[in-house]
Amino acid sequence: MNLTLVGIAGIVILLLVLFFLGMPVGFAMGIVGFCGFWYVRSFKAAVTMAGTDIWTTFSSYGLTVVPLFILLGYIAFNSGIAERLYDAAYKWFGHFRGGLAIATIGADELFAAICGSNTATAATMGAVALPEMKRYHYDTKLSSGTVVTGGTLGTIMPPSVVLIIIGLQTEQSIVKLFLGGILPAILLGALFIVTIFVLCRLDPQLGPAGPKTSFGEKLRSLTGVIEAISIFLLVIGGLYTGLFTPTEAGAVGVFVTLLVTVLARRLTWKGVVSSVSDALKISCMVFFLVTGAIIFGRFLAVTRIPFMVADFAASLEISRYVILTFVLIIYLIGGCFMDSLGFLVLTVPIFFPLGIALGFDPLWYSILLTMVTTLGAITPPVGVNIYVVKALAPDIEIGTIFKSVSFFLLASIVCIAVLILFPQIVLFVPGMVH
Amino acid sequence: MSPRFCSIVRSGLSRETPVKHSNHGIAFFERITRVLNHVLVCIAGCFLGAMVLLTCANIFFRLPWTIGMPISGAFELMGYFGAVAMAFSLAFTQTRKGHIAVDILVLGFSRRPRQILNSINDVLCMVFFGAVSWQITRYGITLLDTGEVTETLGIIYYPFTFCVALGCAAIALVFLTDLLRSLFSKEDDK
């Protein structure tokens, strides 16, 4: 059989295995890649390739950054940093109409600066913010939507696990990807706040104003923010100045956060064990996703599919932005059915060379793909953040949460459009690093 | 941290719960798998902790006002420690359903077809990880026979490859246990 046909058959079989067997994404990519390689070459070549890839990926120094940043996120998650961030944001914004929702986005933004996962951000802030918003009679449409979408900031604001994986897969600087994510994350947070403001202007019952706090209380609340900002500055500042490699930044972040939270007696031994076990579980999942994608990528490379797709797209007589829109729509739809990280890892070997062939800046293109795929976490049917909020507030109907997300979805799409029109928003900060 | 908060955090993760089987053979098999996974994940946690300490010590010692030199071989040790930590967490992650899957279609099937699909899934994954474990073991034996050492420290590194092979074998065992459970458990056990 023609190699191209074998490649297409491999992709079709992968989708069938993914959707009809419910096999984990990393394993499915690994097994289909293995079988495809076996078909094209031989069993011996396939088993040698799979064994070598697993060993080299697992023992790669570059990937050691993953468990360290995930551990940092879980320690922050289990140590109550989020409560103090929310308290500070609440003291500053709580007295405005929709102020608690704005406070949630503000705290999300700060928490995302030390935690690289959208689910962890949504779960942490939801546990803190949802009961407060309920207490002040916020409409569930606003409260649930805020928590669900605010969590997506965790993927874009550095340190982000998704950006680390894209960096490793596409051989880009993780530092530059981290720096490239800062302004888009701030812009997205600002657009969420504008959305809340507009919604509360249109319907004041959505988010009634909370009680006022004195200026002294506002100032005192800032002590709760210092810790998170210090960790962020240490990690990102160390990376920016070249003091640390990404792996070292993760380890220093873990060490300092652990030290501060244990000394302040905010993290128990049980919390440490829970953080380590959850970090191992998530990191292992990420490692095998990457390994599976590498094995599948080897099979695709033999069939030359990624290069053919890139050449075909580059030869089309249409604007590259039309192709980009197509790619983004594919990512948006794909993100609805698959976990965002899984979908990215699966498709980057095909769509990244395409973006490069079209002449897009790899850093800007990677941030765009991350932003679009992240929307999958807040869209049906497998929007993981939605189910996190449902678990936190079982009395809120799932339909209400889906509806509430639609307002914020518009803000995300506007943000993506702004980034397409003004790539400098992504490229400005990384451009300052030499 | 309230107990409710902790339970919420874990709500998305289905915990492996011991099932009482009328088939003692399967129950025994499950117990072995559980104990093995527990031991492996404890070792993995120690290696993760060692990675944090090693990296921080490396940064500390290279500061000009300490000894001003990094720890020799920290780079290669980090890679090997990471390999052990991740390989030993493979089976644990599978038992906690931590490997992300697209199950929206599968969940729509009735029990019998779902059981058949799960069994196919188990067989494919078990064979794949078994083959990979065998291949990595062979690679480790080659390293052992040739006495190959790391570039900087000059230490043998085949034990790390055996650890990765063991991690792959452990996850193959988890799939075998799942397969046996779905094939031989009685209706009321499921």
Q: Cβ contacts of residue B108 below 8 Å, gap of 6+?
A: none
Q: Tokens in use for A5?
A: 């046909």
Return the closest-CA partner of residue A104 out of A79, A76, A133, A129.
A129
Beta bridge partners of A24: B101
Inter-chain contacts counted by CB atoms under 8 A, chains A and B:
195
Angle at A331 between CA A329 and CA A333, to 5 degrees: 70
Between chains, do A50 and B41 touch, taking CB under 8 Å as contact?
no
pLDDT at A8 over 90: no
Best mutation target, A15, A16, A21, A48, to test chain B (most B CBs within 10 A): A21
Question: How much of chain A is helix, strand and coil, in % rounded to 5?
Answer: 80, 0, 20
pLDDT-derived band at A71, boundaries 50, 70, 90: very high
Angle at B137 between CA B135 and CA B140, to 5 degrees: 115
Between chains, do B121 and A21 touch, taking CB under 8 Å as contact?
yes
Name the minimum distance, in Å, from the CA of A73 to any CA of chain B.
13
- Phi, then psi, of A5 in degrees rounded to 5: -65, -40
- Say if CB A238 and CB A248 are below 8 A apart: yes
Between chains, do A59 and B164 touch, taking CB under 8 Å as contact?
yes
- Residue B14 gets which letter from DSSP? P
Label residues B103-126 b or e (16+ Cβ within 10 Å = b): beebeeeeeeebeebbeebbebbb
Name the minimum distance, in Å, from the CA of A311 to any CA of chain B.
31
- Say if CB A378 and CB A408 are below 8 A apart: yes
- Say if CB B173 and CB B33 are below 8 A apart: yes
pTM, whole model, 2 decimals? 0.82
Tens place of pLDDT for every residue, chain B, 190 residues?
334 333 433 443 334 445 555 567 788 888 899 999 999 999 999 999 999 999 999 999 988 888 888 899 999 999 999 999 999 999 999 999 888 787 777 778 888 888 888 899 999 999 999 999 999 999 999 999 999 999 889 999 999 999 999 999 999 999 999 999 888 765 544 4
Best mutation target, B95, B100, B123, B150, to test chain A (most A CBs within 10 A): B100
Between chains, do A59 and B90 touch, taking CB under 8 Å as contact?
no
Residues of A in Cβ contact (< 8 Å) with B6: 274
Return the closest-CA partner of residue A156 out of A196, A118, A194.
A118
- Say if CB A386 and CB A403 are below 8 A apart: no
Q: What is the 3-state secondary structure (H, E, C) of A192-229?
A: HHHHHHHHHHHCHHHCCCCCCCCHHHHHHHCHHHHHHH
CB atoms closer than 10 angstroms to residue A163: 25
pLDDT at site A51:
95
Which of the residue ranges A165-169, A223-227, B182-186 has the most confident prediction, judged by mean pLDDT? A165-169
Between chains, do B102 and A21 touch, taking CB under 8 Å as contact?
no
Q: Tokens in use for A431?
A: 């451009």
Q: Cβ contacts of residue A415 below 8 Å, gap of 6+?
A: A184, A187, A188, A191, A371
Between chains, do A22 and B55 touch, taking CB under 8 Å as contact?
no
- Helix runs in A245-383, H state only: 246-263, 269-303, 305-315, 320-337, 340-357, 362-374
Q: Tokens in use for A146?
A: 């805020």
Between chains, do B52 and A50 touch, taking CB under 8 Å as contact?
no
Between chains, do B93 and A280 touch, taking CB under 8 Å as contact?
yes
How many residues appear in chain B?
190
- Residue A422 gets which letter from DSSP? -
Return the closest-CA partner of residue A34 out of B80, B94, B130, B177.
B130
Name the minimum distance, in Å, from the CA of B143 to any CA of chain A.
13
Between chains, do B99 and A279 touch, taking CB under 8 Å as contact?
no
For residue A67, give the chain B residue with the closest CA: B48
Inter-residue long-range contacts of A392-398, CB under 8 Å, 24+ positions, other chains counted: A392/A123, A392/A126, A392/A127, A392/A130, A392/A147, A392/B8, A393/A126, A393/A130, A393/A134, A393/A140, A393/A144, A396/A140, A396/A144
pLDDT at site A382:
66
Q: What is the mean pLDDT of residues A377-406?
A: 80
For residue A14, give the chain B residue with the closest CA: B102
For residue B122, give the chain A residue with the closest CA: A23
**Concatenated DSSP letters of B80-148:** HHHHHHHHTTHHHHHHTT-S-B--TTGGGS-HHHHHHHHHHHHHHHHHHHHHHHHHHHHHHHHHHHHT-
pLDDT at A54 over 90: yes
Name the minimum distance, in Å, from the CA of A256 to any CA of chain B.
10
- pLDDT per residue as tens digits for the range A271-282: 999 999 999 998
> CB distance from B141 to chain A under 8 Å?
no
Beta bridge partners of B149: B156
Label residues A172-198 b or e (16+ Cβ within 10 Å = b): bbbbbbbbbbbbbbebbbebbbebbbe
Query: When comparing pLDDT for A432 and A176, which is higher?
Result: A176
pLDDT at site B20:
52
In Å, how far are A22, A33, A229, B64 from A253, measured between CA atoms? Answer: 36, 36, 12, 21
- Cross-chain CB nearest to A64 (options B78, B98, B161): B78
Q: Tokens in use for A14?
A: 């992968």
Q: Tokens in use for B59?
A: 């940064």
Residues of A in Cβ contact (< 8 Å) with B52: 68, 71, 251, 254-255
Residues of B in Cβ contact (< 8 Å) with A54: 132, 136, 164, 168
Burial (Cβ within 10 Å: 0-12, 13-18, ≥19) of residue A315: exposed
- pLDDT per residue as tens digits for the range A349-379: 888 988 998 899 999 999 999 998 888 778 8
Return the closest-CA partner of residue B40 out of B48, A287, A136, B6.
B48
Give the sign of the dihedral formed by CA A255, CA A260, CA A261, CA A264.
positive
- Residue B11 gets which letter from DSSP? T
Between chains, do B160 and A382 touch, taking CB under 8 Å as contact?
no
Between chains, do A71 and B131 touch, taking CB under 8 Å as contact?
no
- pLDDT per residue as tens digits for the range A286-327: 899 889 888 988 888 888 777 777 778 778 888 899 999 989
Best mutation target, B14, B41, B48, B80, to test chain A (most A CBs within 10 A): B48
Q: What is the mean pLDDT of residues A207-232?
A: 85
How many residues appear in chain A?
434
pLDDT at A69 over 50: yes
pLDDT-derived band at A434, boundaries 50, 70, 90: low
Name the minimum distance, in Å, from the CA of B79 to any CA of chain A.
4
d(CA A120, CA A126): 10
d(CA A383, CA B56): 37
pLDDT at site A80:
80
pLDDT at site B89:
96
> CB distance from A341 to chain B under 8 Å?
yes
Which B residues, 70 through 89, put their C-beta within 8 Å of a C-beta on chain A? 75-76, 78-83, 85-87, 89
Residues of A in Cβ contact (< 8 Å) with B58: 248
> CB distance from B130 to chain A under 8 Å?
no
pLDDT at site B189:
45
Between chains, do A277 and B41 touch, taking CB under 8 Å as contact?
yes
Name the minimum distance, in Å, from the CA of B60 to any CA of chain A.
10
Q: How large is the angle between the packed helices A118-135 and A81-93, nearest 10 degrees?
A: 50
Helices (H) and strands (E) in chain A, counts: 22, 0
